[in-house]
Amino acid sequence: MTELATTFDPASPTLLELRFEGGILRRGFWLYVREITPPRGGALYYVGRTGDSSSTNAQSPFNRMGQHLGFAQNSSMLRRHLTGRNVEPEGCTFRLVALGPLEAESIAEGRDEHDQRRDVVAAMERALAEAMTAAGYAVMNTVASHKALDAARFAEVRAAFARAFPILTLPVDVDR
């Protein structure tokens, strides 16, 4: 494995700014696309959702972004995808496009309601990842959901994301 270059220089700090809309802090089931622009090469994409499989939580996309770029073994998927391509996240530019909440976070006892909502959004996550890949976007991750897709609802989701990713307007068969 090639060693990653280190760009951090404590003798030369950099002033950076992050602006975001407060709505992205809402908990619930969201779909999101992270666009990552490395210092060299073209843009890379990561398609995801909020709404855990391991718990009944449905965090915000903002919270998920920090987790994905952190160092915790079970939640740093985006960091792992990037470093697996010898891309240092600290040298990249990031864009987050999120749609939601598509479903509210469940407050019911047990897992049934949470799992039903998670499965609906998981099917759309897979369809979105496949549609972006088919349209030519360099999607790094593969979504393995085998849940039934609500095609009419996904058409609305796809149209919303096409405002940020125009190539998605081309027709692609994602029906299941």
Nearest to 131 by CA among 159, 152, 93, 150: 159
pLDDT in tens, 117-156: 999 999 999 999 999 999 999 999 999 888 999 999 999 9
Q: Are 121 and 51 in contact (CB under 8 A)?
A: yes
- The H or E element that residue 154 is part of is helix 151-162
Residue 175 pLDDT > 90: no
Task: Tell me the pLDDT band of 1, cut-offs 50, 70 and 90.
Answer: very low
Claim: this prediction has a pTM higher than 0.85: yes
The three state secondary structure string of 48-89 is EECCCCCCCCCCCHHHHHHHHHCCCCCCCHHHHHHHHCCCCH
CA distances from 139 to 34, 69, 114 (A): 10, 17, 27
| Angular region, 109: left φ>0, alpha ψ -120 to 50, beta rest | beta
**According to the model, what pLDDT value does residue 8 have?**
60
Domain boundary assignment for the chain: 26-167
Nearest to 51 by CA among 1, 119, 130: 119
